[in-house]
Structure 1
Amino acid sequence: MTKVAESKIIVGLEIGTHKVVAVVGEVLPDGVINVIGSGVSPSKGVQGGSVVDLDAAVSSIQRAIEEAESISECKIMGVTLALSGAHITAFNESGTVPLSGEVKAEDLDNAIHIARSIKLPDGLETLHIIPQEYKVDRLPATKNPLGLSGMRLQAQAHLITCHNDWLRNLKNAVERSKLKIDQIIFSGLASSYSVLTEDEKELGVCLIDIGSGTMDVLVYTDGALRYSKVIPFGGYNITDYIANMLTTSRNDAENIKVQYGSAISPPTHFPEKKIEVAGLGGRAPRTFSKEQLSKITSQCYQDLLGIIANELTQLRTDLYQKGIKQELIAGIVLTGGGSQIEDIVECAKSVFGLQVRVGYPLNITGLTDYVNKPQYATVLGLLQYSHYNEDSDTTPQIPGEGFVEWLKKAVKKTVKFTKDKF
């Protein structure tokens, strides 16, 4: 070990349902992240952003950190940590202060402080407060009101909150791994720093980060974050559904999904390809075509994206009623591991009726061969965020229920788990 990970060297740590990833990067003068090391390990003891087995989670973190240290030749002392899960809740709030002439920096701070002073539901604490725009008296909204004259200043802000029990358990896992936590960032916000451009945020864009256990959804219009939410479903729900429909193991279902799944039916490539599915308990394997499989996987993706489409319909109505721009001219950006399934862009276009692209990490250099993929958008976004916010904070005829019904059962399990825990 020849260096210590401090100064301009930043370490991002994402503890997901499927994997734990650590990335070590050096911030260059132009804001580009030079990746000098990374480590990944299978995630154990984590479900949907929640630590459910502390010892297993600690072991997973330590393995990822050790690999990142070996590659980067850094001794990692502190990390910027990603946080997600269904406990994440967001609010749009306002704060108003009187003015004594021109708007000064302390007026902005005071207005934002009032916006964040709302009484939160029990157990929630503020993770981020992100200014949207300001208004001085009856003047049009502006991003920078400094120097304007008036009687009062109103600040509009987006608050992202988390449940303190979920946060405490995640922090315990990291700290037991002998790491200092420098910052904690909502994973969806981190991903937006990694894959979205400023032009997209101005024009209006929806980011969907499809992970194994959750989907992070963010909407920007006029350069401001208007909406953020965590949907408690992801790629593992699709894997479970495939395992149920094909009566095979979870591991085999995951491999089948990754290698042969498609988000549309019939798939664009090799629909006639044969897939052998191992049976359970010594039962004989069976053979399906890729097109038959696609009838399962495509319905799953349509249903998952349909949940978000319904959210966007309601959001557009809410923004319109408030006189805020609601058009998503830049369309949909998909990222995360779940965005890698074949034909996902075509599926999303049909669901949303908007242009769609898959988001890859931007502004990175160095050891990019391994991490320049959508599934690393969050952990690389942690480095970007830290740099820019240093002081912040038909289906085969197999008996089974439909995917929507499967998700409804998952919701009931999530609600029961939440009640039992809190």
Structure 2
Amino acid sequence: MTKIAESKVIVGLEVGSSKIVTVVGEVLPDAVVNVLGTGVCPSRGIERGSVVDLEAVTSSIKKAIEQAESIANYEIQGVALAITGKHIKTINESGCVPLETGEVTSEYIDRAIRTASSIKLDEGSEILHVIPQEYKVDHLEKTKKPLGLQGVRLQAQVHMITCHQDWLRNLRKAVENNKLKIDQVVFSGMASSYSVLTEDEMELGVCLIDIGGGTMDILVYADGALRYSQVLPFAGNEITKHLSEIFITSPRDAETIKVKFASAVYPPLTFADKKIEIAGLGGRLPQNITKQKLAQVTSVCYTELLSIVKEELITLQNELKQKGIKSDLTAGIVLTGGGSQAEDIVQCAMDIFGIPARVGYPQNITGLTDYVNKPQYATALGLLQYCYLNSEDSHITPPPLQNNGFVSGAKKVVDWIKKTF
């Protein structure tokens, strides 16, 4: 049973391809996150969400945890763990149950959802989340609130997110090697949506693109429900690697140049003539280029990344139209994650998608906001909000906490849970 907890301390842990992020926060009864401590450590031993060096990942997690414990003055014993990677798979399914009493009750809703999620999965896969989309009673119109309706049959439409056990098993081991208990495992894109999206955006239609180091998480909300989620196994690290090869410099220097000077459009919108020195590799002399020359390379990279997403959206929108589901993304594109901080990326997104775009910053946080009010903390902070709203004994996931009016948003979720489950 999904429930709302009292104020309590929760720890979010994101094990990314480029960095490990730990956030300790007290989630207040009004669902605002009071950040008590953070820990960030460069990631070692993980690529595109997959553990490739267990000892290195274990050590990196330990450093991030110890840093957060020191700042928060709090001993961390359990964490909510984010997971991503190309092994993440999603399915839209439906399940029907007969209404033996002639009326929809919470028991019938639960049975319909479980029927929808009882399909055979790929070998080695397990369910992370089952997210209700809508319900249909006989020939009535689709509804998100079927409780009490009269009829003969109830159909539930759900969005399921699965992961592969091998990826999860090794990630768990790296965490548990630090003597930490894993309270919940959450798809990282889902966690980010809890942190940066609003109720209005989800209702109007929005695409969330979380650009990390090794992966991009994509979620699409249309007609008030999650319709699509996917992980693309390439992101910011591909751009770093390309810069390293083009300018013959170390990956570390290429990453620094990307973070400080890269523009997602050409020519860059500001300071195009700014001089940039790129350190040489293996004793070679440094190069001096302009920001405009750098943008010739980086703008192509960001355009290619977002164009892949656009192709996915076109396919999805055609599928939704065929099913009679509203597919417009009126609220546009929300970019988050470390890669969303590239200069001019909003302009790049608007040029490619032809709809509004914005960068998604974590919302409704207090405490150490100077440290965490950045897109790269969206997943870790979203983990705290997710755990606050979801019990550990159920895969069934309600809609994200609405953050346009946080207190009223929390009440809406409580009401939704009571009426639906």
TM-score for both structures, normalised by structure 2: 0.91
1:153 alignment partner, SS class:
strand
Per the alignment, residue 31 of structure 1 pairs with 31
The residue identity in structure 2 corresponding to 1:8 is K
Per the alignment, residue 191 of structure 2 pairs with 190
The residue identity in structure 1 corresponding to 2:261 is Y
Stretches of structure 2 lacking an aligned partner (at least 5 in a row): 1-5, 396-421
Q: 2:43 aligned with 1:43, yes or no?
A: yes
Stretches of structure 1 lacking an aligned partner (at least 5 in a row): 1-5, 394-422
Alignment partners' CA distance in 1, 2:281 and 2:13 = 36
Compute the displacement of 1:390 (Å).
Answer: 2.6
Deviations 1:227-262 (A, max 9, x none): 000011110000000111111111111111111110
Alignment partners' CA distance in 2, 1:390 and 1:12 = 15
In percent, how many aligned pairs have the same letter? Answer: 65
Q: 2:89 aligned with 1:85, yes or no?
A: no
Compute the displacement of 1:7 (Å).
Answer: 7.0
Deviates more, 1:189-198 or 1:247-256: 247-256
Per the alignment, residue 323 of structure 2 pairs with 322
The residue identity in structure 2 corresponding to 1:149 is Q
Alignment partners' CA distance in 2, 1:7 and 1:173 = 29
The residue identity in structure 1 corresponding to 2:36 is I
Q: 2:268 aligned with 1:267, yes or no?
A: yes
Q: 2:219 aligned with 1:218, yes or no?
A: yes
The residue identity in structure 1 corresponding to 2:43 is S
Per the alignment, residue 412 of structure 1 pairs with none
Q: 2:144 aligned with 1:156, yes or no?
A: no
Matches within 5 A, 1:192-341: 192-341=193-342
The residue identity in structure 2 corresponding to 1:72 is A
Per the alignment, residue 176 of structure 2 pairs with 175
Per the alignment, residue 104 of structure 2 pairs with 103
Alignment partners' CA distance in 2, 1:342 and 1:330 = 22
Alignment partners' CA distance in 2, 1:71 and 1:179 = 18
Alignment partners' CA distance in 2, 1:293 and 1:320 = 41
Per the alignment, residue 121 of structure 2 pairs with 120
The residue identity in structure 2 corresponding to 1:297 is T
Alignment partners' CA distance in 1, 2:173 and 2:7 = 25
Compute the displacement of 1:283 (Å).
Answer: 1.4
The residue identity in structure 1 corresponding to 2:94 is S
Per the alignment, residue 60 of structure 1 pairs with 60
2:99 alignment partner, SS class:
strand
The residue identity in structure 2 corresponding to 1:242 is L
Contact 2:7–2:28 (Cα < 8 Å) also in 1: no
The residue identity in structure 2 corresponding to 1:54 is L
Per the alignment, residue 11 of structure 1 pairs with 11
Contact 2:18–2:213 (Cα < 8 Å) also in 1: yes
Alignment partners' CA distance in 2, 1:65 and 1:324 = 44
Deviates more, 1:383-392 or 1:231-240: 383-392
TM-score for both structures, normalised by structure 1: 0.91
Alignment partners' CA distance in 1, 2:7 and 2:213 = 33
The residue identity in structure 1 corresponding to 2:229 is S
Alignment partners' CA distance in 2, 1:18 and 1:307 = 22
Per the alignment, residue 133 of structure 1 pairs with 134
Alignment partners' CA distance in 2, 1:131 and 1:294 = 43
Higher relative contact order (CA 8 A, sep 6+): 2
Deviations 1:277-305 (A, max 9, x none): 12222111121111000010000000000
Alignment partners' CA distance in 2, 1:21 and 1:196 = 20
Per the alignment, residue 362 of structure 2 pairs with 361
Deviations 1:114-154 (A, max 9, x none): 11111111121111100000000011111110100100000
Alignment partners' CA distance in 2, 1:193 and 1:390 = 15
